[in-house]
Amino acid sequence: MHRRILFSKEQIDKRVNELALEISRDYQGVEPVFVGLLKGVIFFFSDLLRAISIPARIDFIRAESYGNSMESSGNIRITKDVEVDLRSKHVIVVDDIVDTGLTLSHIVDVVRSRGAETIKVCALIDKMERRTSNINIDYWGFRIEKGFVVGYGLDYAEKFRCLPDIYVLEEKVNNDTVKGD
Ligand code: 5GP
Protein backbone atom coordinates (compact mmCIF):
# COMPACT_ATOMS: atom_id res chain seq x y z
CA MET A 1 0.00 0.00 0.00
CA HIS A 2 1.38 3.37 -1.07
CA ARG A 3 0.48 6.65 0.64
CA ARG A 4 0.23 10.03 -1.06
CA ILE A 5 0.07 13.33 0.83
CA LEU A 6 -3.36 14.93 0.67
CA PHE A 7 -3.26 17.74 3.26
CA SER A 8 -0.02 19.02 4.76
CA LYS A 9 0.45 19.99 8.39
CA GLU A 10 0.42 23.67 7.29
CA GLN A 11 -2.90 23.28 5.44
CA ILE A 12 -4.39 21.48 8.44
CA ASP A 13 -3.19 24.16 10.90
CA LYS A 14 -4.69 26.91 8.75
CA ARG A 15 -8.08 25.18 8.40
CA VAL A 16 -8.27 24.25 12.08
CA ASN A 17 -7.61 27.88 13.07
CA GLU A 18 -10.32 29.09 10.67
CA LEU A 19 -12.80 26.61 12.14
CA ALA A 20 -11.91 27.66 15.68
CA LEU A 21 -12.53 31.30 14.77
CA GLU A 22 -15.90 30.49 13.20
CA ILE A 23 -17.05 28.38 16.16
CA SER A 24 -15.81 30.96 18.70
CA ARG A 25 -17.85 33.66 16.92
CA ASP A 26 -20.99 31.50 16.74
CA TYR A 27 -20.83 30.53 20.42
CA GLN A 28 -20.06 33.95 21.95
CA GLY A 29 -21.59 34.10 25.45
CA VAL A 30 -22.30 30.37 25.46
CA GLU A 31 -20.14 27.75 27.15
CA PRO A 32 -20.47 24.82 24.76
CA VAL A 33 -19.51 21.23 25.51
CA PHE A 34 -17.25 19.71 22.87
CA VAL A 35 -17.69 15.96 22.66
CA GLY A 36 -14.85 14.28 20.76
CA LEU A 37 -15.34 10.96 19.05
CA LEU A 38 -12.34 8.78 19.97
CA LYS A 39 -9.75 7.80 18.89
CA GLY A 40 -9.21 9.34 15.47
CA VAL A 41 -10.21 12.84 16.63
CA ILE A 42 -7.43 13.28 19.22
CA PHE A 43 -5.05 15.61 17.36
CA PHE A 44 -7.83 17.55 15.61
CA PHE A 45 -9.68 17.92 18.91
CA SER A 46 -6.67 19.13 20.86
CA ASP A 47 -5.58 21.59 18.13
CA LEU A 48 -9.13 22.90 17.66
CA LEU A 49 -9.83 23.32 21.37
CA ARG A 50 -6.57 25.18 21.99
CA ALA A 51 -7.48 27.61 19.20
CA ILE A 52 -11.01 28.24 20.53
CA SER A 53 -11.19 31.65 22.23
CA ILE A 54 -14.35 31.14 24.34
CA PRO A 55 -14.80 29.13 27.56
CA ALA A 56 -15.65 25.52 26.76
CA ARG A 57 -15.98 22.13 28.38
CA ILE A 58 -14.74 18.93 26.85
CA ASP A 59 -15.62 15.27 27.00
CA PHE A 60 -15.20 12.15 24.88
CA ILE A 61 -17.26 9.31 23.54
CA ARG A 62 -16.11 6.22 21.72
CA ALA A 63 -18.07 4.14 19.23
CA GLU A 64 -16.98 0.95 17.58
CA SER A 65 -17.95 0.53 13.95
CA TYR A 66 -15.04 -0.36 11.74
CA GLY A 67 -12.74 -2.97 13.30
CA ASN A 68 -9.69 -3.34 11.10
CA SER A 69 -11.44 -3.07 7.77
CA MET A 70 -12.03 -0.11 5.45
CA GLU A 71 -15.79 -0.73 5.31
CA SER A 72 -18.34 0.44 7.86
CA SER A 73 -20.06 -2.52 9.49
CA GLY A 74 -23.14 -0.40 10.19
CA ASN A 75 -23.24 -1.84 13.70
CA ILE A 76 -22.42 0.89 16.17
CA ARG A 77 -21.70 0.22 19.80
CA ILE A 78 -20.73 2.80 22.45
CA THR A 79 -17.57 1.54 24.14
CA LYS A 80 -16.85 4.71 26.17
CA ASP A 81 -19.67 7.03 27.15
CA VAL A 82 -19.72 10.79 27.93
CA GLU A 83 -19.31 11.67 31.60
CA VAL A 84 -20.31 15.36 31.62
CA ASP A 85 -24.01 16.03 32.25
CA LEU A 86 -25.34 17.16 28.85
CA ARG A 87 -28.78 18.28 30.04
CA SER A 88 -29.61 21.77 28.67
CA LYS A 89 -26.10 22.11 27.23
CA HIS A 90 -25.03 23.37 23.84
CA VAL A 91 -23.08 20.45 22.43
CA ILE A 92 -20.68 20.31 19.51
CA VAL A 93 -19.85 16.76 18.48
CA VAL A 94 -16.36 16.64 16.96
CA ASP A 95 -15.41 13.82 14.60
CA ASP A 96 -12.40 12.99 12.46
CA ILE A 97 -14.04 11.85 9.24
CA VAL A 98 -17.63 11.30 8.17
CA ASP A 99 -18.11 8.56 5.59
CA THR A 100 -21.58 6.94 5.49
CA GLY A 101 -22.55 9.19 8.40
CA LEU A 102 -24.02 6.26 10.34
CA THR A 103 -21.64 6.57 13.29
CA LEU A 104 -22.16 10.29 13.68
CA SER A 105 -25.96 10.17 13.38
CA HIS A 106 -25.99 7.47 16.05
CA ILE A 107 -23.83 9.64 18.32
CA VAL A 108 -26.06 12.67 17.71
CA ASP A 109 -29.06 10.54 18.76
CA VAL A 110 -27.22 9.51 21.93
CA VAL A 111 -26.35 13.14 22.75
CA ARG A 112 -29.96 14.19 22.07
CA SER A 113 -31.24 11.45 24.37
CA ARG A 114 -29.05 12.90 27.15
CA GLY A 115 -31.04 16.15 27.01
CA ALA A 116 -28.71 18.49 25.10
CA GLU A 117 -30.42 21.78 24.24
CA THR A 118 -28.65 22.22 20.88
CA ILE A 119 -26.36 19.91 18.94
CA LYS A 120 -24.00 20.82 16.13
CA VAL A 121 -21.51 18.67 14.34
CA CYS A 122 -17.90 19.47 13.43
CA ALA A 123 -15.84 17.10 11.29
CA LEU A 124 -12.30 17.49 10.03
CA ILE A 125 -13.07 15.62 6.81
CA ASP A 126 -16.39 15.30 5.04
CA LYS A 127 -16.09 12.32 2.68
CA MET A 128 -19.20 12.54 0.59
CA GLU A 129 -19.35 9.62 -1.85
CA ARG A 130 -20.88 6.94 0.39
CA ARG A 131 -23.13 9.11 2.60
CA THR A 132 -26.27 7.17 3.46
CA SER A 133 -27.53 9.17 6.44
CA ASN A 134 -28.83 12.71 5.96
CA ILE A 135 -26.73 14.17 8.78
CA ASN A 136 -25.91 17.85 8.45
CA ILE A 137 -22.26 18.75 9.08
CA ASP A 138 -22.25 22.28 10.48
CA TYR A 139 -18.47 22.79 10.46
CA TRP A 140 -16.10 20.86 8.21
CA GLY A 141 -12.39 21.20 7.58
CA PHE A 142 -11.93 19.48 4.23
CA ARG A 143 -14.27 17.90 1.72
CA ILE A 144 -13.18 14.91 -0.34
CA GLU A 145 -15.12 12.70 -2.74
CA LYS A 146 -13.61 9.34 -1.82
CA GLY A 147 -10.43 7.51 -0.78
CA PHE A 148 -9.15 6.05 2.47
CA VAL A 149 -7.17 8.63 4.44
CA VAL A 150 -4.68 8.22 7.28
CA GLY A 151 -2.51 10.39 9.52
CA TYR A 152 -3.25 13.23 11.98
CA GLY A 153 -5.10 10.74 14.21
CA LEU A 154 -6.64 8.64 11.44
CA ASP A 155 -5.49 5.02 11.27
CA TYR A 156 -5.55 1.95 9.13
CA ALA A 157 -5.53 -1.07 11.48
CA GLU A 158 -3.98 1.21 14.17
CA LYS A 159 -1.13 2.29 11.88
CA PHE A 160 -0.30 5.83 10.63
CA ARG A 161 -2.17 7.68 13.43
CA CYS A 162 0.80 9.73 14.57
CA LEU A 163 1.79 11.18 11.20
CA PRO A 164 1.44 14.99 11.27
CA ASP A 165 0.07 15.23 7.70
CA ILE A 166 -2.95 13.55 6.09
CA TYR A 167 -2.38 10.94 3.39
CA VAL A 168 -4.56 8.92 1.07
CA LEU A 169 -3.78 5.20 0.78
CA GLU A 170 -3.42 3.87 -2.73
CA GLU A 171 -2.78 0.45 -4.20
CA LYS A 172 0.76 0.59 -5.57
CA VAL A 173 0.77 0.01 -9.32
CA ASN A 174 3.86 -1.94 -10.32
CA ASN A 175 4.62 -0.63 -13.82
CA ASP A 176 7.13 -3.40 -14.58
CA THR A 177 4.56 -6.08 -13.92
CA VAL A 178 1.93 -4.24 -15.97
CA LYS A 179 4.31 -3.78 -18.93
CA GLY A 180 5.90 -7.23 -18.65
CA ASP A 181 2.72 -9.31 -18.60
P1 5GP B 1 -19.22 6.23 8.98
O2 5GP B 1 -20.09 5.69 10.07
O3 5GP B 1 -19.44 7.69 8.69
O4 5GP B 1 -19.30 5.39 7.74
O5 5GP B 1 -17.73 6.01 9.47
C6 5GP B 1 -17.06 6.93 10.22
C7 5GP B 1 -15.84 6.33 10.86
O8 5GP B 1 -15.21 5.39 9.98
C9 5GP B 1 -14.81 7.40 11.10
O10 5GP B 1 -14.97 8.02 12.35
C11 5GP B 1 -13.52 6.62 10.98
O12 5GP B 1 -13.22 5.99 12.19
C13 5GP B 1 -13.83 5.56 9.94
N14 5GP B 1 -13.45 6.02 8.59
C15 5GP B 1 -14.26 6.32 7.56
N16 5GP B 1 -13.55 6.69 6.47
C17 5GP B 1 -12.25 6.63 6.85
C18 5GP B 1 -11.02 6.93 6.18
O19 5GP B 1 -10.94 7.34 5.01
N20 5GP B 1 -9.88 6.76 6.92
C21 5GP B 1 -9.88 6.31 8.20
N22 5GP B 1 -8.71 6.18 8.81
N23 5GP B 1 -11.04 6.04 8.87
C24 5GP B 1 -12.19 6.20 8.19
State residue 59's pLDDT score: 98
Cα distance between residue 121 and residue 128, in whole Å: 15
Mean pLDDT per 10-residue segment, the chain (181 residues): 95 98 97 97 98 98 71 77 97 96 94 97 95 93 96 96 97 53 37
pTM of the model: 0.91
Residues with beta carbon inside 6 Å of ligand 1? 40, 65-66, 72, 95-104, 127, 148-150, 154-156
Delineate the domains of the chain, giving CATH numbers in brackets: 9-144 (3.40.50.2020)
Mark whether 99 is an active-site residue.
yes
> Ligand 1, atom 24: nearest CA belongs to which residue?
97
What is the best residue among 97, 108, 127, 144 to mutate for testing ligand 1's pocket, by most ligand atoms within 8 Å of CB? Answer: 97
What is the best residue among 96, 137, 150 to mutate for testing ligand 1's pocket, by most ligand atoms within 8 Å of CB? Answer: 96
State residue 115's pLDDT score: 97
- Digit-coded pLDDT (tens) for 109-159: 999 999 999 999 999 999 998 889 989 999 999 999 999 999 999 999 999
State residue 176's pLDDT score: 46
